[in-house]
Structures are given as structure tokens and as C-alpha cells.
Amino acid sequence: MKKHFEPVGCDVDLATGAMTNATGSYEKRFGDLAGLYGDEAAFQRMRAEWGDKVVYAVSDFRPSDRAGDVIFGVTRMVPGKVGDEFFITRGHIHQQTDRPEIYYGQKGKGLMLMESPEGETRIVEIEPLTCCYVPPYWIHRSVNTGPEELVMLFCYPADSGQDYAIIERSGGMRSRILDDGAGGWKVVENPNWRPRDEAALAAVYASSKKDAA
Amino acid sequence: MKKHFEPVGCDVDLATGAMTNATGSYEKRFGDLAGLYGDEAAFQRMRAEWGDKVVYAVSDFRPSDRAGDVIFGVTRMVPGKVGDEFFITRGHIHQQTDRPEIYYGQKGKGLMLMESPEGETRIVEIEPLTCCYVPPYWIHRSVNTGPEELVMLFCYPADSGQDYAIIERSGGMRSRILDDGAGGWKVVENPNWRPRDEAALAAVYASSKKDAA
């Protein structure tokens, strides 16, 4: 008899972002995010108090890294701002760049900030019960624009991988999400952003495996 | 500039099972499910009153049917029983049999009834915030074991496809889920179930594409 992978039920705890039967988890602390925010002086001022605090945490279930399988999990972000800029995750494009991702809001409010390799920005606001589809090739980062924790489920193809360096190489994402001073958010251009050149774009599109074409 | 698929946010309505920006939807009525339940006489007795009623409905977002992409959506099942047997969905194995599926409970309670090609049964109970992973090769069907609607989100690889006939060919799934008379459920063997022979098993495993190995 063929031996099959065993089915599993994972119970999500919205208060902690933990999930029973998770196969892994990680935490990011404020101090891990040096260089991410536009207002470096504000970041340094916050460091003494915030440096060791967990600002986001992820629990996931990874049955395999096989093409055709899926990975899912929970992400929990604390609320806050560095200067006027709302707390963000590090952000990534998939290493296998043509892989999509789904995010499903469960608590708090925020948005998915997306950037195409060519530098177009897209934003999808996420509240509880919003399911956001991040299509292939979009760099994406979560932003907590609310006063409470932002908790989302996510699901992506198991062979996607994450490439975080693409954002650093461009001097950050092109858009930043700031407090608009009226209870909402606004988009501002990141003056340090550098467009990807032809070679960088070619590398993005070369990293999709042929079997996914 | 490369033209990219546009990101989207879909807002889920737990009361109706609908989703904004869905690309498709379908409904199953009681009368569509002839032959599914163990107690055929009870099914026929209910038909006059229930025949045209929607017993479950699905809304989904299908960006593509490409390997490496994902499809997601919402399923809503009404509560009820045919004789002692709780309402069920038709059930399927993926046409691309090595493709998994995720179900995430959002309202009501129920379970995922799973059967391996060789005839092993597995059950994962689903309540709000339970994320159920249905691994590759498992035939699966949802069962509403509660007194209210069961609403779940789902996500699966976009090239999975659905094969419903595998269940019919075996005389139904091997296990049925009945009311235990004490507020819970119990599993009983389906006497009409026929094991898959060597040729049928070979066909199941032949239907996984080589690119997913």
C-alpha cells in the first residue's frame, strides 16, 4: 500500500498568531528591520525602547517544497509607526518569480503594498474577510495601518521561495505608506528608489522555471 | 513594459458565501445529489420539499489554470440530514491527483472526510479557525455536522482539476458520517463500497504529471 502524507488540521489562534501542528515559525524584532524605513533618525530614536520587541511573527505548515504542493500559515504584525510610516514587513518577490500568494485578513486592518519589477505600485486594503490575490511577479509587503494587530492567513505554492534582496537592491520599494494625519494612510514616493535596469528585469523573468510556463 | 495580472481583493460574505470580484460560482441543489446518500428511501421522501433547494454553493477566483498558480474561494453548506446521514458535498479527487487542497473553517462546524485510493479513511474536524490540509492523492468531501451553515475558504493549485467519478465507481466513499443521537457524529462503513483494483490504482498514480514529481 502506498504511504500517503497524513491529513492535518491546524487551529489558528488569532491572539498569538500561533497555529497548532505548525511545522515552523519565526519572529522579526524591531532591531532586525534597520534600513527599511524612510525616517532613519526616527528608527534610531525608537531603537532603545523597541529594539528587542517582536514586530511580526509567522507560523506555517510546510508539507514539502515540491512543485504542485502548497504552504500555508499565519502572520501577525503589531501596530506602530516609525516617524509617520506605518510598520511594514521586510517584503519579498518569490524566488520562483511567477508564483502567486493569497493573504486572508482575520483581525485588524492593513494593506498589501505591491510593486511590479518595472516599478508600478498597487495597493489592496485588507480587513477581516478580505482575500488578497498577489499575482505572479509582484513584489509584496504587508503594512499594518490600524491601531491593533493585523493577523492574516497566507497560502502559496510550495516551490515559491522568497527573495528579499530585490527590494534592497532598488533602495527600498518605490512607495511608502504614511499616516495621513486624519485616521487614514497616504502613499508617498521613496526618493531613494532606483528603477531596475534591463539586466535586473531579465533576471526576474529568467527565474521562472520552464515547467511553470 | 510587461503586462502583469492585476492584484485583487475579494471580500467574503459569510452570510451568503459570496465573494466580491469572484470569477465564477455554482450552486448544488438537493435534487442534484441523487445516489449520494446511504438511505435512498429517506432521500426520496425529502425530495418533494427539498428538491429545488440549494444545499451548497461555491464562489471562486480563478486567475488561470496554469501550473504554479492557485485558485481560491468560499464554500457554504446548509445544515441537514438524509435519514441519519449529515449533508455532504459530492466530493472529488483532483484530476491531477498529486495536488493538495487547503480548507479554512469560518462559520459552523463540520469535517473533511478523506479516503486514500487504497481505502484508508481520515477525518479532520473543522470549526472556525481550523485550517485543514488535504494532502496529494486523498479523495475528499465536506460534511456539515452542525446545526448551522458551514462556511469554509479553500485554496488549491490552479492546475488541479476535479474528478468526481472516482467516488461513483467505488459505490460511494467507504465511510459515511451519521448523527450519533447524542449531539455528535459517528462513522459507519458503506456496505456498497468496492475497493479499487490494481488497474484503478495505477490510473490514479498515472494521472500525476511528470513536471510535478
Burial track A48-83 (b if 16+ CB lie within 10 A, e otherwise): eebeeeebbbbbbbebeeebbbbbbbbbbbbbebbe
* pLDDT single digits (tens) B91-142: 999 999 999 999 999 999 999 999 999 999 999 999 999 999 999 999 999 9
Is residue B211 very low, low, confident or very high in pLDDT (cuts 50, 70, 90)?
very low
Q: Do A129 and B7 touch (CB under 8 A)?
A: no
Tell the burial category of B147 from Cβ atoms under 10 Å away from its Cβ (0-12, 13-18, 19+).
exposed
Which CATH number does the domain housing residue A199 bear?
2.60.120.10
So what's the ipTM on this one? 0.94
- What is the structure's pLDDT at A144? 98
- What is the structure's pLDDT at B1? 67
User: Is the pLDDT score of A196 beyond 70?
Assistant: yes
In a domain, A5, yes or no: no
Is residue A213 very low, low, confident or very high in pLDDT (cuts 50, 70, 90)?
very low
In a domain, A26, yes or no: yes
- What is the structure's pLDDT at A48? 93
Residue pointed to by grid coordinates 428511501 = B41
Of the candidates A30, A11, A28, which has an alpha carbon nearest to the alpha carbon of residue A19? A11
Listed range (A196-210, B20-34, B151-165) with the worst mean pLDDT:
A196-210
In a domain, A138, yes or no: yes
* Average pLDDT taken over every residue of chain B: 96
Neighbours of B79 (CB within 10 A): 17
Q: Is A69 on the interface with B (CB under 8 A)?
A: yes
Of A72, A102, A129, the CB nearest to B11: A129
A172: three-class secondary structure by DSSP: coil
Of the candidates B85, B203, B80, B91, which has an alpha carbon nearest to the alpha carbon of residue B138? B91
Q: Based on the structure, what is the number of domains in chain A?
A: 1
Neighbours of A134 (CB within 10 A): 24
All residues of chain B having their beta carbon less than 8 Å from the beta carbon of residue A212 are: 66-68
- Which parts of B are annotated binding residues for Fe cation? 92, 94, 101, 140
Q: Is A125 on the interface with B (CB under 8 A)?
A: yes
In a domain, B5, yes or no: no
For B158, nearest residue in chain A (alpha carbons): A68
Q: Is A19 on the interface with B (CB under 8 A)?
A: yes
Domain that holds residue B116: 14-208
- What is the structure's pLDDT at A64? 96
All residues of chain A having their beta carbon less than 8 Å from the beta carbon of residue B102 are: 70, 72, 155
Of the candidates B110, B107, B162, B115, which has an alpha carbon nearest to the alpha carbon of residue B134? B115
Q: Is B103 on the interface with A (CB under 8 A)?
A: no
Q: Mutate which of B60, B65, B125, B129 to disrupt the A interface (most A C-beta within 10 Å)?
A: B129
- What is the structure's pLDDT at B213? 39
Q: How far is A206 from chain B (nearest CA, A)?
A: 13
In a domain, B42, yes or no: yes
The beta-strand segments (E) located in B121-167 are: 121-126, 130-134, 139-144, 150-157
- What is the structure's pLDDT at B158? 98
- What is the structure's pLDDT at B95? 96
As a 3-state breakdown, chain A gives helix, strand, coil percent values, each rounded to 5, of 15, 40, 45
Calculate mean pLDDT across residues B151-168: 97
For A103, nearest residue in chain B (alpha carbons): B9
- What is the structure's pLDDT at A44? 97
- What is the structure's pLDDT at A1? 67
- What is the structure's pLDDT at A207? 77
* pLDDT single digits (tens) A16-48: 999 999 999 999 999 999 999 999 999 999 999
- Identify any residues that bridge with B104 across adjacent strands, giving them in sequence order: B131, B153
Is residue A83 very low, low, confident or very high in pLDDT (cuts 50, 70, 90)?
very high
Q: Do B69 and A205 touch (CB under 8 A)?
A: no
The residues in A 127-186 lying below 8 A from B, measured between CB atoms, are 127, 129-138, 153, 155-157, 159
Of A69, A132, A137, the CB nearest to B4: A137
Q: Is B1 on the interface with A (CB under 8 A)?
A: yes
The residues in A 33-62 lying below 8 A from B, measured between CB atoms, are 61
Q: How far is B44 from chain A (nearest CA, A)?
A: 34
The residues in A 176-195 lying below 8 A from B, measured between CB atoms, are none
* pLDDT single digits (tens) B26-84: 999 999 999 999 999 999 999 999 999 999 999 999 999 999 999 999 999 999 999 99
In a domain, B154, yes or no: yes
* pLDDT single digits (tens) A45-61: 999 999 999 999 999 99
User: Is the pLDDT score of A171 beyond 60?
Assistant: yes
In a domain, B114, yes or no: yes
Q: What are the cell numbers at B79?
A: 445544515
A139: three-class secondary structure by DSSP: strand
In a domain, A4, yes or no: no
